[in-house]
Amino acid sequence: MSKTEPRTLSGFMELLPNEQILFNQIKETIEDTYKRFGFLPLDTPIIELSEVLLAKAGGETEQQIYRFNKGDKDLSLRFDLTVPLSKYVAKNYGNLSFPFRRYQIGKVYRGERTQKGRFREFYQCDIDIIGDEELDLINDAELPSVIYTIFKNLGFNNFTIRVNNRKILNGLFESLGQKDNSVEVLRIIDKIDKIGKEAVKEELNKLGVLEEAITNIINFIEIEGNSEEKILKLKQLGIQNETFIKGVEELEYVIKNMKLFGIPEQNFKVDLTIARGLDYYTGTVYETFLNDYRELRKCLLRWQI
């Protein structure tokens, strides 16, 4: 009998038992922490109707979707856990208690171009807090404390949760008359860590942003100091734009309360360059980075049980 070569698609992670044990330990640490903060478990189907899953999608996202027909149904694999959450909350609105705090840990699928370190099937571990009509800003300060607790529990010490507020950037662009360009400008600023300041300037120039506005934007993102100093300098810019002022207020409030939730100052900072998910986020945005390679090596020895 001829044998089929046993093989796994590229972009799909498959581990040996010793690696899987470690993977699961990390996953369980994340889940335990989510539970400890009172988030409710949720599991949604991996397959959904394309019409439902792609209600919002477009452009790049849509091209990456695993989409197929089964019988007369047009189906797709979920590509994140947020869209299924949206559908779920809308569908079960009457049966949920708000603020609705849920966690979901599951695989999602994106047909990205295969390259090293890019996965087409991967786990996302999400927490969201959803309000009915409104959700107090204090919630924006609690989520980073969940992340802080997770990375501490995983044995990391040297990591930074970077926080920003989209209203600040949007307000700045409004005040500079760059509102129509804001999505593009944000996309470019978002790359400053990767491509550097000069390349950002060049790209802004190509976009048709005036020299003076570019200078203002760069001055803005180069504001330095600790979190309090940055907030102070933002206020001192004297920008009389409503959105900008609201953003600075929100950021100040979130930072203040992150401390209240017990995040040490060395583990977070204001980073005015973070833009995140360009058309999606409207206020607070976060990114978390692991900092020190050597320290990382040390703390991960803990996992070699």
Binding residues among 219-258 for another protein as defined by CB under 8 A: none
* 2 DSSP 8-state letter: P
Please tell me whether residue 199 binds another protein under the rule CB under 8 A: no
Please tell me whether residue 68 binds another protein under the rule CB under 8 A: no
Please tell me whether residue 276 binds another protein under the rule CB under 8 A: yes
**Taking the complex as a whole, how short is the minimal distance between the CB of residue 216 and another protein, in angstroms?**
24
Please tell me whether residue 115 binds another protein under the rule CB under 8 A: no
Between 109 and 209, CB nearer to another protein: 109
Please tell me whether residue 290 binds another protein under the rule CB under 8 A: yes
Residue at token pair 């899987």 = 20
Between 21 and 199, CB nearer to another protein: 21
Please tell me whether residue 125 binds another protein under the rule CB under 8 A: yes
Between 15 and 210, CB nearer to another protein: 15
Contact in structure between 12 and 120 (CB atoms under 8 Å) = yes
Rounded CA-CA distance 43/18 in Å is 27
User: Which stretch, 22-30, 42-50, 69-77, 213-221, contacts another protein (CB under 8 A)?
Assistant: 22-30
Q: Which of residues 160-179 bind another protein (CB under 8 A)?
A: 166
Please tell me whether residue 121 binds another protein under the rule CB under 8 A: yes
Please tell me whether residue 285 binds another protein under the rule CB under 8 A: yes
The 3-state secondary structure of 29-97 reads HHHHHHHHCCCEECCCCCEEEHHHHCCCCCHHHHHCCCEEEECCEEEEECCCCHHHHHHHHHHCHHHCC
**Taking the complex as a whole, how short is the minimal distance between the CB of residue 233 and another protein, in angstroms?**
22
Rounded CA-CA distance 189/195 in Å is 10
Please tell me whether residue 266 binds another protein under the rule CB under 8 A: no
Tokens for 60, please give them: 């790049």
Rounded CA-CA distance 27/177 in Å is 46
Please tell me whether residue 86 binds another protein under the rule CB under 8 A: yes
Question: Torsions phi, psi of 210, nearest 5?
Answer: -65, 150
